[in-house]
Structure 1
Amino acid sequence: MIEDANHIPAGSLLKADVCIVGAGAAGITLALALRDSGLDIVLLESGGDSDDAATQQLYAGSVADARLHPPADHYRVRRFGGSTTLWGGRCMPLDAIDFEARDYIAHSGWPIALSDLLPYYPRANQLCEAGDFAYSAAAVPGMRPMIEGFDSGLFSTDALERFSCPTDFGQRYRHRLATAALRVIQHANLRALPLDGSGQRVGPAQVRTLAGNHFTVDARAFVLATGGLEVPRLLLANPGRSGRGLGNAHDVVGRYYMSHLAGTIGTVDLSAARSVWHGYEVSDEGIYCRRRLALLPQAQRALHAGNFIARLHHPRIPDPGHGNGALSLLYLARPFIPREYAKRLDADEPMSAGAALGHLRNVIVGAPATARFLAHWIRRRNLAARKFPSIIIRPDNLRFSLDFHAEQEPNPDSRVRLGTDTDALGMPRLHIDWRYSQQDTDTVSRSLAALARELRASGAGTFDYDPQQVEAEMTRYGAYGGHHIGTARMGVDARTSVVDPDCRVHEAGNLYIAGAAVFPTSGQANPTLTIVALALRLADHLRKTYARTPEAASGITTRRAQEEDVA
């Protein structure tokens, strides 16, 4: 059942076994996984089925350095489906090394291992609509070599990334939630989560709407699934036992804020390679897959580098010297492209008259090829249910730029805290102070240098770049996209973490957190697939802990429910 919080009688007290706050990837996954558990589930969502400016404004806040971090209300969406309404769909699991404590990555190490998540990744893949849990090129028939003749002991081209539709969880799973024996309440904002009389548990939760309605929810367990920035905001806005915030007796909430290190740099010349394929393949089940260059675990340890992957990318767009009409058309159209994407086109750089003429010449001379590109894009991206993931243009001279994506070291000085302003509900807004470390720069620098050496040694190509520009390119986009990670990290010691290995807040016996906020490290992977896998794992824990019958505790799911999850 899906209902509007404004229609609930003012002052009502709702009862539930589990109250989930936030209907994004984590919250919707939890609700789906628990819908046959026999538990009374309430799912609170601040937004509705569509964008609403007043609701989105609740995410606004301040940023310490606008050059390094986008505005607080960008890259996250306060509506049913959350940020899955705008994600790009890239799926990949974390690697085993990401869970390890590494002496060269400060504050690294998870209290669980990859093996603890492996049982949940296949179902997470299905919920994300990314096909089979198969992330090796060898497992997908027909995968062409990325760079034929490139043989390296440091880098692999066997690792895959798979792509969701991308799936809007709100739209895709709305019907299942609407017909399930649970309550989804939209336009419901968590306003306060006080401790009870025992000081050991939280609740009842105070809920408000922007229209002025109010009610409370009393649950045996609460789960915050509101994203890596909103989770610390909610925890810090409630005093807890220490008076410093729920779970924040040791000043850990909001610290260790990570994203990913991403950029585009240099020129990879593969004209000497026997063959090159940098585009997408379609698996037997119809999923777009793509190879990438991945720094192997033994190389990470030898180089004292964090996890790192790279992709072959089209030439740098602002320079009309690439001679490609489609790229020039994209660059000329940058004033009409949303800011977050235009930034990837170096839209902040002024365009000279000479460059503009060069781009215009490329569009005119390359009109036939540009028309074919546009037709492909409209057919396979704009009109397709499963969208072509990104722009893929093969340079005639096989000279590519390199797109990289790397792990960020957990840094206690990179943090979010409460600001001085308040929102329309009287909640303090966030102040974001994202920072990177010397280890972050070293990870990218050492990985790029190793790749240049390996390409040259293989005879398959060369990679030329300016080492002095690494830090500038690494921070060109600042904290990358919507990857808000680590602000309520998982651990066994309450002095250095916020939640335990079961995602339960150390200081509150019935409060849990779902999402990337609990990741102790970021790894190289986009976080959505792991968010969903962790939510499935948490659902199993909640089922066993709060089940009313032995059958529900066993995690038995009906065949129909299993079939629905992959339909």
Structure 2
Amino acid sequence: MIIDANTLPEGEALSADICIVGAGAVGIAMALDLIGSGLDVLLLEAGGFGREEDTQALYAGSVADPALHSPPDTYRERRLGGSTSTWGGRSMPFDPVDFEKRDYIAHSGWPIGPADLAPFYPEANRICEAGRFAYTIETAFDHPRKPMIDGFESANFTTNTLERFSCPTDFGRRYKHKLETASNVRLVLHANVAHIALDALGGKVDRLHVATLTDRHFAVRARHFVLANGGLEATRLLLASRDVHANGIGNHHDLVGRFYMCHVAGTIGAIQFNRPIWNGYDIADEGTYCRRRLALRPEAQHRHGIGNIIARLHHPRITDPAHRNGVLSMLYLARMFIPYEYGKRLHGGVDLDVPTRLKHLRNVLTDMPDTAAFMLHLLLKRRLAERKFPSIIIRSKAHLHSLDFHAEQEPNPASRITLSGETDALGLPRLMIDWRYTAKDIDTVSTMLALLAEDIASSGVGRFDYDPASVEQEMTRYGAYGGHHIGVTRMAASPRDGVVDADCTVHGVANLHIAAASVFPTSSQANPTLTVIAMGLRLARHLKDQATRPLRARSLAGTMS
């Protein structure tokens, strides 16, 4: 059943066994898993079926340094399906090393391990429509594939791990019908949670206060509440709900909003290969696009004391018309038609002067056959295809490439999210984001680049040239890359070290759970979507197991030690 909150009577009271806040990737995945469970599920979505500007404006906030972080209302969609309406579909699991306590990565270590998520990854893959849960070239394909770089040998890097790509699947569009017809699920649109009300002792959530932009208000009561509305919004609600706990819910040790991570990413240097290489997509038997990367082995990470990082072979920097490539120049000239999150990466926010734009136009005209072929490919394989070609791949006849890297961030308590003095249309404080990186982040990228340059040369496959002095500039060119809101409600065995426990339950609040990448203690090199869905499915299983057990408020004294 789908209900619009604007049609509910003023002061209505809704109840359920489980209330999930947020119908994005994780909230929808959890609701799908709970269909037929016998539990009454209420799924609250702040938006509607499509983008609505007044609703989207509720995400607005401020940033400490605009050069390092995008405005808070970008990379997020307040609508059914959430940011899956705009994501690129890149899917991969976290690596075993990501869960380890590493003495060279401050504040690392998870209270769960890879085995705890392993049962849930295949279903997460299926929901994402990213094919089989097989993430090496050996397991994903029944027949041998051509090597990525023939002759490349390295004790530091592998070239056999994969990224898989979803269609990309818009969860709202794909799963709307299942939610609508499920007998035990009610989806309520335009339902903005404005306050989490605890009981008098602060050990349980009593109800949620929900409001619409048309000034209707109602309450929701449930046995269990799940915040699946993304790391930023979950943090905002915890910090803003201060009537019982003065510093906000789960914030007895000032950890809510700290350790904010995304990823550090950039494009650097020039790799001149002396032989053809494979830089394209492998297509799995089920039709899924897969792409190989240069992945730093965990042994090399341990040996050099750096974070997890991968690299992809990339085209030359798009803003420089000296590449003389008509396709790249066309992509620059058409930048206003490219979504914000991808345009920023392609163009780096650079606005070129008229003479430079004319050089780009000349490239398009002189390279018209290749440009026309690319446009046809874009139409057939991207615009019209249900499973879309994932990204721009430019074949270099000269075997010349730049290097695109994507790295883990070190958890940093000074990198944080707080409430500002401004409020939105519903009266909630807006967010202030102060994203920061550390010297370890620079060291991770710098060390990886040096190792790769050495291994390319020693293998005799080519030469990698880059300016070591430019590493920090290149890794911060795009700031906190990807809209991956990680770490701000981190998971830990003790409330002195985190906000939620190993079951994603807020320390000290027995029936409040968080299903977002914000519970990850570390960020990995991987995009978080697949793992956070697997985490949500694990939480759904936990809530099913808890359904027949009596709910008891947790002793504040017993959990705050």
- The answer on whether the counterparts of 1:201 and 1:509 sit within 8 Å (CA) in structure 2 is yes
Give the superposition deviation at 1:533.
0.3
Residue by residue over 1:366-417, the C-alpha shift from the partner in whole angstroms, topping out at 9 and shown as x without a partner, is: 1111100100011100111111000000111011000000000110000001
Residue by residue over 1:412-447, the C-alpha shift from the partner in whole angstroms, topping out at 9 and shown as x without a partner, is: 000001000000000100000000000011110111
Give the letter for the 1:527 counterpart. Answer: P
Give the superposition deviation at 1:191.
1.1
**Counterpart for residue 16 of structure 1:** 16
- The answer on whether the counterparts of 2:26 and 2:228 sit within 8 Å (CA) in structure 1 is yes
Give the letter for the 1:126 counterpart. Answer: R
Give the superposition deviation at 1:548.
7.8
- 1:484 aligned counterpart, secondary structure: coil
**Counterpart for residue 394 of structure 2:** 393
- The answer on whether the counterparts of 1:324 and 1:366 sit within 8 Å (CA) in structure 2 is yes
- The answer on whether the counterparts of 2:148 and 2:159 sit within 8 Å (CA) in structure 1 is yes
- 1:481 aligned counterpart, secondary structure: helix
**Counterpart for residue 229 of structure 1:** 232
**Counterpart for residue 130 of structure 1:** 130
Quick check: 1:501 aligned with 2:502? yes
Quick check: 1:200 aligned with 2:203? yes
**Counterpart for residue 170 of structure 1:** 172
**Counterpart for residue 335 of structure 2:** 334
**Counterpart for residue 58 of structure 1:** 58
- The answer on whether the counterparts of 2:416 and 2:434 sit within 8 Å (CA) in structure 1 is yes
Give the superposition deviation at 1:126.
0.3
Quick check: 1:246 aligned with 2:249? yes
- 2:56 aligned counterpart, secondary structure: helix
- The answer on whether the counterparts of 1:314 and 1:401 sit within 8 Å (CA) in structure 2 is yes
**Counterpart for residue 457 of structure 1:** 458
**Counterpart for residue 564 of structure 1:** none
Equivalent-residue separation in structure 1 for 2:416 and 2:473 (angstroms): 22
**Counterpart for residue 486 of structure 2:** 485
Residue by residue over 1:503-561, the C-alpha shift from the partner in whole angstroms, topping out at 9 and shown as x without a partner, is: 00002010000010100000000000001100110000000001489xxxxxxxxxxxx
**Counterpart for residue 558 of structure 2:** none
- The answer on whether the counterparts of 2:348 and 2:478 sit within 8 Å (CA) in structure 1 is no
TM-score by length of 1: 0.95
Equivalent-residue separation in structure 2 for 1:225 and 1:240 (angstroms): 22
Q: 1:354 to 1:14 in 2, by over 3 A?
A: closer
Give the superposition deviation at 1:240.
6.1
Equivalent-residue separation in structure 2 for 1:111 and 1:8 (angstroms): 42
Equivalent-residue separation in structure 1 for 2:530 and 2:351 (angstroms): 38
**Counterpart for residue 309 of structure 1:** 310
**Counterpart for residue 511 of structure 2:** 510
The more displaced of 460-469 and 326-335 is 326-335
Residue by residue over 1:26-48, the C-alpha shift from the partner in whole angstroms, topping out at 9 and shown as x without a partner, is: 11111111111111110100001
Equivalent-residue separation in structure 1 for 2:483 and 2:207 (angstroms): 31
Equivalent-residue separation in structure 2 for 1:537 and 1:349 (angstroms): 43
Please provide the CA RMSD for this pair.
Answer: 1.3
TM-score by length of 2: 0.96
Give the letter for the 2:209 counterpart. Answer: Q
**Which structure 2 residues correspond to residues 226-375 of structure 1 after superposition, within 5 A?**
226-239=229-242, 241-270=244-273, 272-273=274-275, 275-346=276-347, 348-375=349-376
**Counterpart for residue 145 of structure 1:** 147
Equivalent-residue separation in structure 2 for 1:423 and 1:403 (angstroms): 38
- The answer on whether the counterparts of 2:272 and 2:464 sit within 8 Å (CA) in structure 1 is yes
Give the superposition deviation at 1:90.
0.2
Identity across the alignment (%):
59
Residue by residue over 1:156-196, the C-alpha shift from the partner in whole angstroms, topping out at 9 and shown as x without a partner, is: 00010000000111111110010002111000011111111
- 2:206 aligned counterpart, secondary structure: coil
Give the superposition deviation at 1:352.
4.3
Give the letter for the 1:154 counterpart. Answer: N
Give the superposition deviation at 1:344.
2.1
Equivalent-residue separation in structure 1 for 2:309 and 2:199 (angstroms): 45
Give the letter for the 2:501 counterpart. Answer: D
**Which structure 2 residues correspond to residues 101-116 of structure 1 after superposition, within 5 A?**
101-116=101-116
Give the letter for the 2:256 counterpart. Answer: V
Give the letter for the 2:224 counterpart. Answer: A
- The answer on whether the counterparts of 2:5 and 2:188 sit within 8 Å (CA) in structure 1 is yes
- 1:221 aligned counterpart, secondary structure: strand
- 2:119 aligned counterpart, secondary structure: coil
**Counterpart for residue 156 of structure 1:** 158
Across the two proteins, how many residue pairs are aligned to each other?
A: 547
- The answer on whether the counterparts of 1:93 and 1:121 sit within 8 Å (CA) in structure 2 is yes
Quick check: 1:179 aligned with 2:181? yes
**Counterpart for residue 209 of structure 1:** 212
Equivalent-residue separation in structure 1 for 2:256 and 2:81 (angstroms): 25
Gaps of 5+ in 1: 550-567
Equivalent-residue separation in structure 2 for 1:336 and 1:292 (angstroms): 28
**Counterpart for residue 42 of structure 2:** 42
Q: 1:350 to 1:172 in 2, by over 3 A?
A: closer
Give the letter for the 2:433 counterpart. Answer: I
**Which structure 2 residues correspond to residues 528-543 of structure 1 after superposition, within 5 A?**
528-543=529-544
Give the superposition deviation at 1:230.
0.6
Equivalent-residue separation in structure 1 for 2:134 and 2:449 (angstroms): 27
**Counterpart for residue 90 of structure 2:** 90
- The answer on whether the counterparts of 2:158 and 2:294 sit within 8 Å (CA) in structure 1 is yes
Give the letter for the 1:109 counterpart. Answer: G
Residue by residue over 1:2-51, the C-alpha shift from the partner in whole angstroms, topping out at 9 and shown as x without a partner, is: 11111122112111111000000111111111111111110100001011
Give the superposition deviation at 1:203.
1.9
- The answer on whether the counterparts of 1:315 and 1:395 sit within 8 Å (CA) in structure 2 is no
- 1:193 aligned counterpart, secondary structure: strand
- The answer on whether the counterparts of 1:236 and 1:245 sit within 8 Å (CA) in structure 2 is yes
**Counterpart for residue 416 of structure 1:** 417
Give the superposition deviation at 1:347.
5.2
- The answer on whether the counterparts of 2:202 and 2:245 sit within 8 Å (CA) in structure 1 is no
Give the letter for the 2:419 counterpart. Answer: L
Give the letter for the 1:6 counterpart. Answer: N
Residue by residue over 1:56-90, the C-alpha shift from the partner in whole angstroms, topping out at 9 and shown as x without a partner, is: 01100011000000001000010010111111000
Quick check: 1:80 aligned with 2:83? no
Equivalent-residue separation in structure 1 for 2:182 and 2:235 (angstroms): 30
**Counterpart for residue 545 of structure 2:** 544
The more displaced of 347-356 and 193-202 is 347-356
- The answer on whether the counterparts of 1:260 and 1:405 sit within 8 Å (CA) in structure 2 is yes
Equivalent-residue separation in structure 1 for 2:521 and 2:463 (angstroms): 36
- 2:431 aligned counterpart, secondary structure: strand
Give the superposition deviation at 1:327.
0.8
Equivalent-residue separation in structure 1 for 2:549 and 2:100 (angstroms): 37
**Counterpart for residue 525 of structure 2:** 524
The more displaced of 340-349 and 409-418 is 340-349
Equivalent-residue separation in structure 2 for 1:330 and 1:62 (angstroms): 30
Moved over 4 A (4+): none
The more displaced of 351-360 and 501-510 is 351-360
